[in-house]
Amino acid sequence: MDQPPISDYGFLSDCRSGALVGRDGSIDWWCPDRFDSPSVFGRLLDPAAGHWRLAPLAAGRVERAYRPDTLVLRTVHHTPDGSVAVTDALAAEPGARGHQLGMNSPAVLVRVVEGLSGRVRMHLDFAPRPEYGLLTPYLHEQPDGGVLATAGPVALHLRGTGRTLRVDDDRVTDTFEVAAGQRVGFDLAYAQVYGGRAARLDPVHALAETVRAWEGYRETHRYDGRYPAQVRHSAVVLTGLTYARSGAVAAALTTSLPERLSGDRNYDYRYSWLRDFAMTLRALWVAACPDEANRLFSWAARSIGRIGDAPVPVLFGLEGERDLSEHECAHLRGYADSRPVRIGNDAWRQRQLDVPGEVISAVWRLHDYLGTTFDVELREMVVGLAEQVATTWQLPDRGMWETRDTERHYLSSKVLCWLALDRAVELAPRLGDRADPRRWAAIRDEIRATVLREGWNDRIGAYTGAFGSAELDASALFLPVVGFLPATDPRMRSTIDVVERELGTDAGLVRRWNTDPAGFVLCSFWLVECLVLAGEEDRARALFDKVLAHANDLGLFAEQIDLRSGAQLGNTPQALSHIGLINAAWRLTEPSTD
């Protein structure tokens, strides 16, 4: 494999877009307009699809860490000639603090090189390739010593403090020396060719402003439970995946990183899944910050629109776009030759009955902060979702893992239908005249009885993935987490034991099903929660520590962990993995919390 491991990458964000920078100093992924826009650096998916490397000429030992409570990354290179630090960030708007972070991001990457000891020769290699590598830009040397790269709709202006950059055919290369105490900064500003001009920032000042902006944001989210460092960091990661202009949370920064090397389960996760609502809000503990909740629910209501007979899509674009039709980029090799590379996600077309349960559960969780009387859009959304569940819960669907074969009666989908109506009944006094709590309650009870009867498999001794199936599915662990059954219920206790025995591993990982070659990070944290709820807190804490050990050196999780190599797999950083971490840590802190 001629590409770095997924775990080699650090995450930068300005809450508009995100970038991935490797241990080798190469920025291999950046979609500058917003998270789901075309990349200008795409080496993550093909060696020829663009990058920006800034690192010593001589190889050496690498140490790196984020500035506390930020996504500003400092990488220290120790070489035979001395040591140098490179600090990278996506710049915040000057003066932005707290919840202003990301509202008007300037779309500027800043990199500052600082000599720590000796004299270190540095090398810069700048090769942008817009439109996922389809375009090779024109490069123009500028009077300010920088270089302007233009191709299609994209303009990128690269500048260096006190340096005159030179074009070398289809890229910019530069070699320079840094002595102890010296600093050299670079800023790379994005603009649309037919739009406004690229911003100009002083790299050193921009770094300091960005650190202050992140610190101001995190001051509004306090956590007093167990594993505070890991929880705070995961909350920062989730903030970094939040598209500030709408409040939508992207499922991940990337597209098409494979669930299995050389496999074809490579999907685009740069969109916002309604399914993640309740877990996300619980993880961020937005109860301490109601403005965020109101913005997020407003985004959801407007994205969904008036609810009719058609299934509500499980995902939307970051500004509420519904049609996310999928296509393949045949010109890209894919990460580690894992094809296809997909842009868009056809899961938006699927029927997934679990979606209303997550959304209504999120409203229920934060109802005290949404007012005694919900606004019209929020009322219409909750009532419309509840009515859709009441009329469609008996249909098959694709399930929470978004299978692309046949529809089935998935256990987790039915349980989330139960959750939708259970929470809607409780919310009914705030939903106006259209609420029908008596009917909803009757259907809720029917769903529960059906799940208990059809979801259990006597031969397996567990609730299985779908009605009538003998296939185990780790999504059954979700039942106690959402309060459908107590973990101490004999059948639920048996299910937990069977899942742990058959799908669990000595490394603390839990696979989604028997044929899955990788542990799914979220399911592993669900098992932690189940063990806490079953009264086995010591085992739960030991398991939690094992799962934590699979994060990379920057505390980042992708979607899955390969069982043989321990390598991270799937899109990264994965919101659900960090959501699972936070929720499991809180469960270990407050076992009775729902």
Indicate which CATH number applies to the domain containing 53: 2.70.98
Task: For residues 267 and 349, state if they share a domain.
Answer: yes
Backbone angles phi, psi at 161, to 5 degrees: -65, 115
The reported pTM is 0.96
* 515 found inside a domain: yes
Indicate which CATH number applies to the domain containing 482: 1.50.10.10
Give the residue-averaged pLDDT of 404-413: 96
CA distance 82 to 95: 35
* 581 found inside a domain: yes
Task: For residues 441 and 410, state if they share a domain.
Answer: yes
* 202 found inside a domain: yes
Structural domain boundaries, residue 554: 228-589
Query: How many domains does the chain divide into?
Result: 2
All residues at 6 or more sequence positions from 580 whose CB lies less than 8 Å from its CB, including other chains: 279, 521, 522, 524, 525, 526
Position 396 scores a pLDDT of 98
Angle between helices 521-533 and 575-589 (to 10 degrees): 10
* 498 found inside a domain: yes
The secondary structure element, H or E, covering residue 76 is strand 73-79
Q: Of 186, 218, 250, which residue constitutes the final position of a domain?
A: 218
Distances (CA, A) of 442 to 390, 431, 483: 10, 18, 18
Q: What is the pLDDT of residues 471-500, one digit of tens each?
A: 999 999 999 999 999 999 999 999 999 999
Task: For residues 190 and 259, state if they share a domain.
Answer: no
Task: For residues 241 and 211, state if they share a domain.
Answer: no
Q: Of 218, 248, 281, which residue constitutes the final position of a domain?
A: 218
Furthest CA-CA distance within the chain = 77
* 223 found inside a domain: no
Task: For residues 169 and 208, state if they share a domain.
Answer: yes
Of 416, 280, 296, 279, the residue nearest 357 (C-alpha): 416
Q: Evaluate if residue 98 carries a pLDDT over 80.
A: no
Q: What is the pLDDT of residues 437-473, one digit of tens each?
A: 999 999 999 999 999 999 999 999 999 999 999 999 9
Cβ proximity of 86 and 77 under 8 Å: yes
Q: Of 185, 218, 251, which residue constitutes the final position of a domain?
A: 218
pLDDT band at 1 (very low <50, low <70, confident <90, very high): low
Cβ proximity of 502 and 514 under 8 Å: yes
Task: For residues 209 and 241, state if they share a domain.
Answer: no
Which of 105-109, 283-287, 329-333, 343-347 is predicted with the least confidence, judged by mean pLDDT? 283-287
* 317 found inside a domain: yes
Task: For residues 186 and 319, state if they share a domain.
Answer: no
* 372 found inside a domain: yes
CB atoms within 10 A of CB 65: 13
Task: For residues 237 and 284, state if they share a domain.
Answer: yes
Give the rounded percent of residues in the chain with a pLDDT score beyond 70.
98
Which of 173-182, 270-279, 418-427 is predicted with the least confidence, judged by mean pLDDT? 270-279
Q: What is the pLDDT of residues 20-32, one digit of tens each?
A: 999 999 999 999 9
Task: For residues 204 and 347, state if they share a domain.
Answer: no
Task: For residues 421 and 519, state if they share a domain.
Answer: yes
* 146 found inside a domain: yes
All residues at 6 or more sequence positions from 525 whose CB lies less than 8 Å from its CB, including other chains: 544, 547, 577, 580, 581, 583, 584
Task: For residues 453 and 398, state if they share a domain.
Answer: yes
CA distance 542 to 472: 24
Q: What is the DSSP letter of 219?
A: T
Q: Where are the beta strands (DSSP E) in 469-565?
A: 518-520, 560-562
CA distance 187 to 210: 13
The terminus-to-terminus CA distance of the chain in angstroms comes to 44
Task: For residues 134 and 30, state if they share a domain.
Answer: yes
